[in-house]
Every structure is written in structure tokens, then in C-alpha cells.
Structure 1
Amino acid sequence: MPVPAEDLPVTAAAADPSPPPGPVVTGRYDQPPGYGVNRPRGSDSWQFTFTLGGSGLLSQGAARARAGAGDLVVLAPGTAHRYTVAPGAGSRRFWWTHCRARPAWTAWLAPYAVSDGLYAVPSVPGVLHGRIDAAFFRMLADARGPAEDTPREDTPREPDPVAVAHGSPARELALCALEEVVLLAAGGPRTPVPAPDADARVRRAEELIAADPGAPHTVRSLAESVVLSPSRFAHLFTLRTGRSPMRALREARLRHAARLLEATDLTVERVAAASGFSSPCHFSRVFREHHGVPPGAYRAGEGR
């Protein structure tokens, strides 16, 4: 079912966060300076944008990507995002699609991950732009129904068209066209933009723990500090260090407590609190398990 562009909101409102994930919604925009979409609650669907001209800025959580001509940027659902015409750019012409991504696509996009949920495939070779453009136009035709032919290069084209593929045949045809876009953009013989170094992000988290082991760190707070989802952060941290983030935090707190016992006359209760333990009893039990003696005996010189 075709939907005119003027019937869709330009700037997302609280009651209209994004198109639903079921249908495939495709459009082509030519937007002037000042255009922007802000979705504080994120989107329920994946969003794919391919820039034809001008420049835009896109963000997913704390991560940022710039989109110029020939750049494909993909935003995963579930995280606050925003996109605008870049400051100083006259406009931004781009294709966009909202849909539920096929599982295989994330593996193709993985080398271009800027952060969890933000993928930026830069500088798609110019020789592929025509094929990508044609694939998007084919998505528009397929969204309207399989009976329509793919527009030829000499066919007049409606400016800023938008179409929604509801039925199963139309949706699958549109997804096949989008899959061609992703393969052409991400599968070409090019060097991907390096993703942020996983080791650097793990080291940053370790530095945060070491700097203040008594702080109320959690997997979520540490993950947010290095712009990762909690599950991805925990996986990377364990892979790189051989221990979970919470185990590393507990060991850092125990080292900090041991130094306080050796160098200060703070009570065991205050050492426990300064080292981030929830109660003196819990601290004494964990300390004894680790050092073989309780905190008071350790202070007296036992177990060192």
C-alpha cells in the first residue's frame, strides 16, 4: 500500500516513535538544513539509510556516524537514536527503510560496527551506486505489489516516494531488494572502517575499576562507560581477561581492602564500606575465602 511522504511525520513524536517492525517501509527524501528525527525511546524496527547527496549526522546511544554520498548507515532497534542534516550541508538526499532485518545481515555488517547497534559502511564504490539506487526503487515497486515493473532509468520518478509493504509476497520481495543493498555495500572488496578496539574498551573498564574499586560499579554502568550493551561488554571482558566483570571487580575490591588494612587503622566496618562491600559480614566472609584469614588476622600479619 503506497503512503505519500506528506502523510508520514518528519520528526518523531512520543506517540509515533517509528514504523512498526512487521511491514517494510521505504522512502526517498531530499531534506533541507534543520531537518531531523529524534527518537528518545529508540525504534521498534531496524533502519537502513543510503545517502545519495549532501551529508547527515546519525547517532545511536552515545555513538556517532557521519553519512555522506555513498554511505550506508544502519541503526538497530531498541536504543535512542537521532539523525539530522549535517551542519553546513545544503541538504541531504537519502533512501531509508524501516523493517525487521534478516538474521544473516548483522554478520555482513559486523566489520562496520561503530558500536552495538550502529553500523556505518563508508564510501561504497561509485560503480555500485546505480545498482543500489535501482534496488531501492525496486523496493518501492515491490511494496506496491509484485505486478508492478521495476522502474527503468528513463521512467519519470516521483520525488520523495514512500511505500509500505504489508502482505507477505510484497514484504519478502522488498526484503530481497534490501538484502541486495546490504550485500553490495558491505560485501564489496574494500577495507572496512576499523571498529573501536575491543581491547581498548576492556582496558578502559579495567582502569575505571582500578581507579575507584569502592564505587557502585555494575555490568551496566561499566558497559555504558565504553558504549557497549551489557551483554556484549560482559562477553568481551570475559573473552579478553578470562574472568567476568563482577569477578574482576570483587578481586579489585579485595586488593583495595587489603591495602587499607595494611596501611590504615580504619575499622573493619569502614574498610568494608570504603571497598564497596554491602555489609561487614559479607566482606569478612569473602575476604576470608580469598586470603584464608579474616580481616583482623590479616591486619595482624597473618596470611600475608
Structure 2
Amino acid sequence: METDAFKGRVMPNGVCETHTMRLITADHDFRFHSASSDMRRYGASYSDARVEVSLILEGEVLFIVDGVRRTVRAPAASFQAYRNSLEVVTPRHRRTRTMWCYASAALLDDREWALTAQLPPLIGISDALRTLFDSALSIPDDDATIPGNPPNYGKHIRNALGAAIFAEYLRCSVVGQGSQASLPVPVQKARAAIDENYRKPWEANDLAGIAGVNRNHLIHQFKKHLGISPTRYMWNRRVEAGVHLLRTTDLSVEEIAFRSGFQSGAHFSRIIKKEKGMPPGQLRRTAPSLTAWTRDASGG
């Protein structure tokens, strides 16, 4: 019997599991990068065929994969496979932090391209994915900086970790872990309610009522699929709104606090300093910077 290695079900097109696993067993020369942008729009484009797994740790990223647009909000892992082009855009007035692993897609044939299309484009960030990325990024690109090791030592280790990252994404896809493309309806409803009115003093019981489940179940589902509680999600949205107003208006701190859902100007200032490392006045005076964002067309 022939199976779909991604979905774990019978395939009518005769694709066997051993063939599909070439995606994670062939020597793909995996590359790793991490980057952040601070409150300023950034864009990059690529034209060489690749397969890529990205971790969106903070903020959001717009991916345009062979012309198809998809916005990914943190925290999430995202899979991109593109033949012709990939564009990556971060929004203005929102800090974004990402990691990504990619390899050339030159070894994929038509059957494997068809199978990559079956992978969910978004899943939650499993502990294993984060650990694998952290491990790979800690290995120097230059093997000369690892004295006493054989030639290409670092490259071989990175390739093993890269294959493990794609295998872990595949595993999460099969078991349905954290898929944001198919978030449980209660999570969708509660998140939409917060997004539409983040200023409202939402309580978990209120959101649970909208979602049609009990409070504990909603909190559990939020943490399982989004990695944070409903309350934390609400405060993240408020912080984002407050920072946006600081950057784009001359409104007073008190007025921004009111518009963003904070209890007072002092409360807003305290939370902003805790989350951003500086008080609102200093954050407003600090010019946006792209120096930390290193995702460019030449470097990956």
C-alpha cells in the first residue's frame, strides 16, 4: 500500500513514502540565518528555487510565494517552497524577529513539488524546532574557527540539523501540532474578538463565552496552538498599538494609553519600558533602524 508521507493517508497517485522522504534525506547544503527589524518596513526578494522553514518569533512577515500572498504572525513556523520567486516584507511600526533555514530545491522532481504543496504553510513552533534552530545558528560558518575538527565539520553538522528541522516540520504536520491554517474554531473566534477590539478589558470568561467553550479549555487551546494565553495575546496587541501611535502621532502619552487600552499613562509607560527596554518618550525619539535586519538577497 502506498501512503502520503505528509498526511499519513492512502495516495491515489502512486507516490510512495520512500520517495517523498528524499526531501529530508538528500544532501541539500542547508543554510541558516536570523534577523530582526525595528519599527520599519523591510523587503527582500529571491529568484532561485528553494525550500525554507522560517520561525516568526515576534511581529509578522508577509511572504509572497510564487505570487501567492500569506501573512504570518508570531509565534509561528512557516514553510515556503517556490520555483520562481519569494518576496519577504516586514511591516512598518512593528518589531519583527525571525530565524530561517533553507536549501536549494534543485533536487526536487515534479512529484516532490506536488507533495510540498500538501504541507500546511503554518504550524506552531515546537520546542524541538526552536532548539534545532538555536543549535544550528551557534555553529560558525567558518570551519577554521573550530580548531581540531576535520574539514567541513561545521557544514556536516548544519546539514544534519537542517534535515532534522524539515523532518520536525513534517512530524508536526502529520500529527497536526499547532497548525495555524486550521486553528480550532474557539481559538479563531477568541483571537478575532481581541483583534477587533483590543481596547476592551477582556476577561478569559468573556472570550470563552464568545468561543463557546469553558475558560480553562480556551486557555489550554491558545497556549497549545499560539504559544501564549489569550490575556498575553491581548496585551501584545495593545503594546503594538501603543508603539504605532508613539511612532506616527504627536498624541500625549495619556491619550495613547487611553486609545491602546491601558489603565493610565503611568501604566502604559511601565509596560512599554518593560517590553521595549525604554520609556515612551525615548522610544518616540529613537529613529527606526534596520541595522539589525540582515535578510538580504545576497546573504539569504
**Shorter-chain-normalised TM-score: which range?**
0.3 to 0.5
TM-score, structure 2 as length reference: 0.39
The structure with higher relative contact order (CA 8 Å, sep 6+) is 2
Which structure: larger Rg? 1
TM-score, structure 1 as length reference: 0.39
